[in-house]
Amino acid sequence: MSKKNRIESLIRECVSEILRRTINNQKIGFISITGVKLSSDGSYAWVYYSQIGTEEEKRKTKYALKSAAKFIKGEFGKMVRIKIVPNMRFTYDDSLERGAHIIQKLNALAPEQND
């Protein structure tokens, strides 16, 4: 595993922990961190998250994460000693939603089985 991959994994774990234990914001719904992509110079980290909820809840979460990004960066910097603490950009990941939608479609096409 490369250094970049290790840092991405560490960011994913730490951000999940920060959101679970430190952030007390009603606007951030129940989310899962699905991945992290670190820029080549390490100055930016795109943190991908998924959320189940209404479009309004997703919108509120998006803006709440955007406003909490500097705080999360600071908390991450306290947890981990690395040369560059990246600026965090939160991006909604709809891959889980799309996957569930595809499974529903496949199930609807499959003939019913008799038990």
The residue segments making up the domain with residue 39 are 3-109
CATH number for the domain harbouring residue 21: 3.30.300.20
Is residue 23 a part of any domain in this protein? Answer: yes
- Return the structure tokens found at 8: 């991405």
Whole-angstrom Cα distance, residue 64 to residue 68? 6
Q: Give the total residue count for the chain.
A: 115
Render pLDDT for 25-81 as a digit per residue (tens, 0 to 9). 677 878 899 999 999 999 999 999 999 888 999 999 999 999 999 999 999 999 998
pTM over 0.85: no
- Show Cβ contacts of residue 64 under 8 Å, excluding neighbours closer than 6 positions: 25, 27, 28
Residue 112, pLDDT score: 65
Render pLDDT for 52-68 as a digit per residue (tens, 0 to 9). 888 999 999 999 999 99
